[in-house]
Amino acid sequence: MIHRIFSSTLPSFKELRFDSGLNVLVAKKSKDATSRQTRNAAGKSSMVEIIHFLLGADCKKDSIFKCDDLVEHKFGLEFDLNQKKVEIERTGEKPSRIIINKADRLKWPQKGSTDDKTGELFITNTKWKEVLGKLVFNIPPDLPKLSPTFRSLFSYFARRVNDGAFSEPTQHFKRQFDWDWQVAISYLLGLDWKVPQEIEKVRVKEKSLKTLKKELKTGVIGSIIGSAASLKTKVTVAERKFKRLQEELSSFQVLPEYRELEKEASTLTIKIAEMSNENTIDEEIISEIEVTIKSESPPALKDVKKVYQEAGIVLPGIALKRLEDVENFHNAIISNRRSHLQGELDSARNRINKRTTEMQQIDHRRREIMEILNSHGALDQHNKLQKELNRLQADVEELNKRYKMAVTIETTGTDLSIERKQLHRRLMNDHKEQSEIIEEAIIIFEEFSSELSEREGSLTIDATEKGPKFDIRVEARRSIGISSMQIFCFDLMLIVLCQKNDMGPGFLVHDSHLFDGMDSRQIAKAFEIGSRVADKYGFQYIVTINSDMIPYLEFSKDFKFEDHTLPVFLTDDTEDGGLFGFRFE
pLDDT per position as a tens digit, 222-254:
445 556 667 778 878 878 877 876 776 565 554
- If phi > 0 it is left, if psi is from -120 to 50 it is alpha, else beta; for residue 467 that is left
* CB-based contact 50:64 (threshold 8 Å): no
High-pLDDT (> 90) share of the chain, %: 45
pLDDT band at 154 (very low <50, low <70, confident <90, very high): very high
For residue 300, is pLDDT > 80?
A: no
| Mean pLDDT in residue range 31-47 | 61
For residue 35, is pLDDT > 50?
A: no
Which sign, positive or negative, has the C-alpha torsion 182, 183, 187, 192?
positive
Confidence (pLDDT) at 284: 86
Residue environment code for 154-165, b if the CB has 16+ CB neighbours within 10 A, otherwise e: bbbbbbbbebeb
Q: Which of 362-366, 542-546, 581-585 has the highest mean pLDDT?
A: 542-546
Strands 507-510 and 113-114: unpaired
User: Other CB atoms closer than 10 Å to residue 542's CB: what's the count?
Assistant: 27
Looking at residue 85, the DSSP 8-state letter turns out to be: E
* CB-based contact 255:372 (threshold 8 Å): yes
What mean pLDDT, rounded, does the chain reach? 83
Q: What is the DSSP track for 147-216?
A: S--HHHHHTTSB--GGGTTTS-TT-SSTT--HHHHHHHHHHHHTS-THHHHHHHHHHHHHHHHHHHHHHH
Confidence (pLDDT) at 308: 57
| Mean pLDDT in residue range 334-363 | 82
CA distance 389 to 393: 6
For residue 138, is pLDDT > 70?
A: yes
For residue 40, is pLDDT > 50?
A: no
| Mean pLDDT in residue range 248-272 | 65
CA distance 564 to 562: 5
- The model carries a pTM of 0.70
**Main-chain phi, psi angles of 256, to 5 degrees:** -60, -35
The closest alpha carbon to 88, from 53, 140, 63, 61, belongs to: 53
pLDDT band at 80 (very low <50, low <70, confident <90, very high): very high
Which sign, positive or negative, has the C-alpha torsion 554, 42, 20, 511?
positive
Least confident span in 5-14, 248-257, 427-436 = 248-257
Confidence (pLDDT) at 270: 85
Q: Which of 153-157, 163-167, 342-346, 386-390 has the highest mean pLDDT?
A: 153-157
| Mean pLDDT in residue range 562-582 | 88
pLDDT per position as a tens digit, 464-516:
999 999 998 766 545 566 788 899 999 999 999 999 999 999 999 999 999 98
Looking at residue 254, the DSSP 8-state letter turns out to be: B
| Mean pLDDT in residue range 433-450 | 94
For residue 255, is pLDDT > 50?
A: no
Question: Cα Rg for the chain, rounded, in angstroms?
Answer: 56
- Dihedral angle over CA of 367, 372, 376, 381, nearest 10: -60
| Mean pLDDT in residue range 158-181 | 92
* CB-based contact 93:75 (threshold 8 Å): no
Confidence (pLDDT) at 36: 44
Q: Which of 75-89, 114-128, 230-244 has the highest mean pLDDT?
A: 75-89
For residue 364, is pLDDT > 50?
A: yes
pLDDT band at 327 (very low <50, low <70, confident <90, very high): low
* CB-based contact 166:514 (threshold 8 Å): yes
